[in-house]
Amino acid sequence: MTEDLNRTVETRPSTPAWVIAAIAVLGVVALIGLVVAHNASTQAQEIKQAFDSRAKSMQQDFTNQLAQIQQHQTQTDTTGAGVQSDLSVVTKRLRLTQGELKQARQEAAQIKSESDQKLAEMDGAVKTELAAKASTDDVKTVDGKVEGVRTDLGTTQNDLKMARSELGTLIARNHEDVEELRRLGERDYVEFTIPNKNKPQKVGDVVVELRGTNISKKRYNVALVVNDVRIEKKNLPENEPIFFHEGNSRQPLEMVVNTVGKDTVSGYISIPRSAASTKSAAAGN
Q: Among candidates 194, 219, 220, which has minimal Cα distance to 209?
A: 194
**What span, in angstroms and rounded, lies between the C-alpha atoms of 59 and 45?**
21
User: For 190, phi and psi rounded to 5 degrees?
Assistant: -120, 110
Instruction: Give pLDDT, residue 39.
Output: 79
38-52, 62-76, 90-104: range with lowest mean pLDDT:
90-104
pLDDT higher than threshold 70 for residue 8: no
Distance, in Å, from the CA atom of 244 to the CA atom of 176, rounded to the nearest integer, reads 24
* H helix intervals, 133-174: 136-161
Q: Which residues contact 15 (CB under 8 A, 6 or more apart)?
A: none
Residue 154 has pLDDT above 70, yes or no: no
d(CA 177, CA 258): 11
pLDDT in tens, 203-221: 988 999 999 999 999 999 9
Q: Decide if pLDDT at 153 tops 90.
A: no
How many helices (DSSP H) and strands (DSSP E) are in the chain?
Answer: 5, 8
Q: DSSP secondary-structure letter at 186?
A: S
Q: Give kind and range of the element (H or E) at residue 30.
A: helix 17-132
Q: How confident is the model at residue 281 (pLDDT cuts 50, 70, 90)?
A: very low
Q: Where are the domains of the chain?
A: 90-161, 186-284
